[in-house]
């Protein structure tokens, strides 16, 4: 084999080695992402099973969740750089458990349960993981492989705007066309009445 042929062959082998390493890297990254997604899906399924008892809102109250009474929706949606980017839709009635407020998150212990009014009953549709900025959180916590959104003002009128926080809505029991982790759901409608509010989109705040 001539010198040029040997050089060409060596270059070819190096090229094949680089390609093989790149393919192996992509394969490992893909397996890692797949494993993370599988773990998140397992956590979601477990959370849904554990929290199913709260289909009865009285059970939720007995466990320390207290209703904010008002049904909140954002019919106009939208937002700008100063506000959260919400799509048009509802959030429902929030039940908050202040005893669960903590800087770390537990998939089986959401700080908020969300119900949809149906006549004179409430139907459990979602859970929300909620972390106040006052706990010293400077970066978005994450759960189920998703970072919480924010930080933002409290959702008026059901809470004081001064309650700056991070949150993540997870629609475990009601399909959301926007996606399971969207804050609003276009299929959730608040009934006409004195306890339904078209909320103002909360402002983004500094952590």
- Identify the pLDDT of residue 28: 43
- Least trusted range by pLDDT, from 34-43, 47-56, 100-109, 166-175: 34-43
Q: Which two tokens stand for residue 88?
A: 């048009």
The dihedrals phi and psi of 170, each to the nearest 5 degrees, come to -130, 110
Give the pLDDT band (50/70/90) at residue 81.
confident
Across residues 146-153, what is the average pLDDT? 97
Residue 207 CA to residue 201 CA, distance in Å, equals: 18
Kindly state the percentage of the chain with pLDDT values over 90: 72
Among 187, 58, 78, which residue's Cα sits nearest to residue 126?
187
The model's pLDDT over 18-65, given as tens digits with 9 standing for 90+, comes to: 434 343 444 544 555 576 777 789 999 999 999 999 999 999 999 999
What was the pLDDT predicted at 199?
Answer: 85
Distance CA 203, CA 164 (A): 9
6 pLDDT higher than 70: no
The whole-angstrom separation of Cα 188 and Cα 75 is 10
Rounded to an integer, the average pLDDT of 154-175 is 95
pLDDT at 15 over 70: no
**pLDDT for 92:** 97
Residue 183 CA to residue 194 CA, distance in Å, equals 23
């Amino acid at each position: 084999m001539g010198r040029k042929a040997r050089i060409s062959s060596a270059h070819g082998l190096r090229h094949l080695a680089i390609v093989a390493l790149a393919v192996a890297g992509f394969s490992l990254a893909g397996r890692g992402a797949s494993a993370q997604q599988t773990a998140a899906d397992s956590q979601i399924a477990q959370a849904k099973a554990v929290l199913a008892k709260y289909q009865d809102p009285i059970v939720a109250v007995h466990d320390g969740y207290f209703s904010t009474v008002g049904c909140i929706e954002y019919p106009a949606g939208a937002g700008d750089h100063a506000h959260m980017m919400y799509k048009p839709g509802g959030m429902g009635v929030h039940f908050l458990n202040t005893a669960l407020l903590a800087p770390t998150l537990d998939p089986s212990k959401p700080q908020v349960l969300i119900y949809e009014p149906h006549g004179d009953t409430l139907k459990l549709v979602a859970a929300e993981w909620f972390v106040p900025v006052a706990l010293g959180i400077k970066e978005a916590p994450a759960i189920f492989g998703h970072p919480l959104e924010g930080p933002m003002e409290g959702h008026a009128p059901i809470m004081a705007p001064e309650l700056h926080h991070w949150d993540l809505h997870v629609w475990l029991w009601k399909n959301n066309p926007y996606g399971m982790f969207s804050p609003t759901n276009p299929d959730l409608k608040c009934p006409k009445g004195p306890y339904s509010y078209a909320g103002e989109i909360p402002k983004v705040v500094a952590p």
